[in-house]
């Protein structure tokens, strides 16, 4: 007769109990620290993304200039470009948003009175919804009431200053920090392999990000000119809306261009159809030519991951969080791709 299986007993010693309590306390402390430092961590991540996007320009200037001067030129030029573009965009958006507040409800009212979709527009109270949306838009854009807007502006000012300083620091010393991290791996062969994979992941991930930003800017300009040609009110804010949506592959530009199509169709159904065809043609050209060229030289990130990362980042930390989320997913996909090839 076979011997019975030995009975296993869980023995809880004083040492294991102390270790369990200590581990639980350490875990809770780390979680509290992360929660309290969420804003600073966000600044660091955004600064890392900004430094990664600017690094190729610094590397090109490093061939002819000292590193500090190259970083100063790139940083000041980027800051000046962002300031000029931001001022022009905000000024145009404020001016054209007021025009949009007047024109959009009239266009919606016309859709309710006549046209193929008049009954549907009337049933959903389109005019009232549009009027409420355009009236609330300025308050949402400036961050709520005037007092809330002032507090938000002060917070953003500190965030921009901290992010700028961190970006400058990473541009100056990022390569040295990376080399120091690699030196922690004592095995020379393993260190060389990690360095090769990390460089390829960095180049492919940030190459895709730069290509996506360039395509978004191009789609925003295209939407601006289409809206202007179709005599649609507020082409600047609508173009910015299309540019943000274009970060979503395959369908972004078409979804972002729907407000322009609707406003153009309110004055002339034929004009609306032409605008719709123009956006579809642009999306097809971007997907088949530009998107494939960017993916061929970097990495392919599908629409599902892009939407999921963007929405999660936007919920956690606003537009900067969306940018960091997209960048994180892109780097993760590039890493998985490199490891699969290895």
pLDDT tens track, the chain, 342 positions: 455 555 555 566 777 777 777 887 878 777 777 666 667 777 787 888 888 888 888 888 888 888 888 888 888 888 888 777 666 666 666 666 666 666 677 776 666 666 666 666 666 766 677 777 666 655 555 544 555 555 655 566 677 788 888 888 888 888 888 888 888 888 888 888 888 888 888 888 888 888 888 888 899 899 989 988 888 877 877 888 888 888 776 677 778 888 888 888 877 888 888 888 998 898 888 888 888 898 888 888 877 777 777 777 766 666 667 777 788 888 888 888 888 876
- How far apart are the C-alpha atoms of 203 and 298, rounded to whole Å? 7
Cβ atoms of 253 and 245 closer than 8 Å:
yes
pLDDT at 8: 54
List for the chain the helix, strand, coil content (%; round to 5).
Answer: 85, 0, 15
pLDDT at 28: 78
pLDDT at 42: 74
Place of tokens 């369990």: 20
**Model-level pTM?**
0.65
pLDDT at 123: 67
CA angle, residues 309, 312, 316, in degrees to nearest 5: 135
pLDDT at 100: 64
Which runs of consecutive H residues, i.e. helices, occur in 183-302? Answer: 188-229, 235-245, 252-267, 269-285, 292-296
């Amino acid at each position: 007769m076979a011997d019975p299986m030995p009975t296993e007993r869980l023995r809880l010693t004083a040492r294991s109990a102390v270790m369990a309590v200590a581990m639980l306390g350490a875990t809770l402390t780390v979680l509290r620290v992360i929660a309290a430092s969420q804003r600073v961590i966000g600044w660091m991540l955004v600064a890392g993304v900004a430094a990664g996007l600017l690094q190729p320009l610094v590397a090109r200037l490093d061939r002819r200039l000292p590193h500090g001067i190259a970083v100063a030129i790139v940083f000041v030029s980027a800051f000046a470009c962002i300031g000029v573009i931001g001022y022009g965009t905000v000024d145009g958006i404020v001016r054209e948003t007021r025009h949009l507040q007047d024109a959009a409800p009239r266009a919606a009212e016309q859709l309710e009175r006549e046209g193929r979709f008049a009954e549907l527009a009337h049933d959903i109270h389109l005019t009232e919804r549009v009027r409420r949306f355009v009236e609330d838009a300025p308050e949402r854009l400036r961050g709520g009431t005037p007092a809330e807007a002032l507090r938000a502006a002060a917070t953003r000012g500190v965030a921009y200053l901290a992010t700028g300083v961190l970006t400058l620091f990473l541009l100056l010393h990022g390569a040295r920090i990376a080399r120091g991290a690699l030196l922690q791996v004592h095995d020379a062969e393993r260190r060389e392999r990690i360095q090769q994979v990390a460089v390829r992941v960095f180049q492919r991930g940030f190459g895709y990000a730069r290509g996506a930003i360039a395509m978004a800017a191009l789609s925003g300009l295209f939407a601006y000119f289409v809206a202007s040609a179709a005599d649609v009110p507020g082409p600047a804010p609508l173009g910015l809306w299309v540019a943000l949506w274009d970060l979503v592959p395959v369908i972004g530009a078409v979804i972002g261009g729907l407000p322009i199509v609707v406003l153009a169709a309110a004055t002339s159904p034929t004009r609306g159809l032409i605008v719709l065809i123009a956006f579809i043609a642009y999306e097809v050209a971007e997907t088949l030519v530009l998107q494939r060229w960017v993916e061929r030289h970097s990495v392919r990130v599908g629409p599902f991951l892009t939407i999921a990362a963007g929405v999660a980042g936007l919920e956690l930390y606003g537009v900067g969080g969306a940018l960091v989320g997209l960048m994180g997913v892109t780097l993760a996909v590039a890493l998985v791709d490199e490891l699969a090839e290895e």
